[in-house]
Amino acid sequence: MALWSSITSVYLASVVVALILTYGEQKRRGQNKPFDVVMGYLLCMVWPLVAFIVLIFYKPNQA
Protein backbone atom coordinates (compact mmCIF):
# COMPACT_ATOMS: atom_id res chain seq x y z
CA MET A 1 0.00 0.00 0.00
CA ALA A 2 2.92 2.34 0.64
CA LEU A 3 3.98 2.01 -3.00
CA TRP A 4 0.62 3.28 -4.27
CA SER A 5 0.69 6.12 -1.76
CA SER A 6 4.13 7.13 -2.99
CA ILE A 7 3.11 6.94 -6.65
CA THR A 8 -0.02 8.99 -5.95
CA SER A 9 1.97 11.58 -4.02
CA VAL A 10 4.50 12.00 -6.83
CA TYR A 11 1.69 12.21 -9.39
CA LEU A 12 -0.20 14.85 -7.41
CA ALA A 13 2.96 16.86 -6.79
CA SER A 14 3.78 16.94 -10.51
CA VAL A 15 0.20 17.97 -11.32
CA VAL A 16 0.28 20.79 -8.78
CA VAL A 17 3.60 22.08 -10.12
CA ALA A 18 2.28 21.94 -13.70
CA LEU A 19 -0.92 23.76 -12.68
CA ILE A 20 1.03 26.52 -10.94
CA LEU A 21 3.35 26.99 -13.92
CA THR A 22 0.42 26.97 -16.37
CA TYR A 23 -1.46 29.53 -14.30
CA GLY A 24 1.57 31.83 -14.28
CA GLU A 25 2.09 31.44 -18.02
CA GLN A 26 -1.57 32.16 -18.78
CA LYS A 27 -1.47 35.30 -16.62
CA ARG A 28 1.75 36.48 -18.24
CA ARG A 29 0.37 35.99 -21.76
CA GLY A 30 -3.02 37.44 -20.91
CA GLN A 31 -4.92 34.34 -21.97
CA ASN A 32 -8.47 34.53 -20.72
CA LYS A 33 -10.44 32.41 -23.19
CA PRO A 34 -12.31 29.84 -21.11
CA PHE A 35 -11.59 26.99 -23.53
CA ASP A 36 -7.83 27.63 -23.48
CA VAL A 37 -7.76 27.93 -19.70
CA VAL A 38 -9.74 24.72 -19.12
CA MET A 39 -7.76 22.75 -21.71
CA GLY A 40 -4.49 23.91 -20.17
CA TYR A 41 -5.56 22.73 -16.74
CA LEU A 42 -6.92 19.41 -18.03
CA LEU A 43 -3.71 18.69 -19.91
CA CYS A 44 -1.74 19.45 -16.75
CA MET A 45 -3.66 16.69 -15.00
CA VAL A 46 -3.22 14.16 -17.82
CA TRP A 47 0.40 14.51 -18.96
CA PRO A 48 2.03 12.82 -15.93
CA LEU A 49 -0.15 9.77 -16.54
CA VAL A 50 0.80 9.70 -20.22
CA ALA A 51 4.50 10.01 -19.36
CA PHE A 52 4.19 7.14 -16.88
CA ILE A 53 2.51 4.91 -19.48
CA VAL A 54 5.20 5.71 -22.04
CA LEU A 55 7.90 4.78 -19.52
CA ILE A 56 6.21 1.47 -18.80
CA PHE A 57 5.77 0.42 -22.42
CA TYR A 58 9.00 1.89 -23.87
CA LYS A 59 11.23 -0.74 -25.40
CA PRO A 60 14.62 0.28 -26.76
CA ASN A 61 15.41 -0.62 -30.33
CA GLN A 62 17.38 -3.87 -30.43
CA ALA A 63 19.82 -3.00 -33.23
Question: What's the predicted TM-score (pTM) here?
Answer: 0.73
The pLDDT value given to residue 60: 81
The pLDDT value given to residue 61: 81
Structural domain boundaries in the chain: 2-57
Handedness of CA 20, 16, 14, 49 (dihedral sign): negative
Q: Give the chain's end-to-end CA distance (angstroms, integer).
A: 39
The pLDDT value given to residue 1: 66
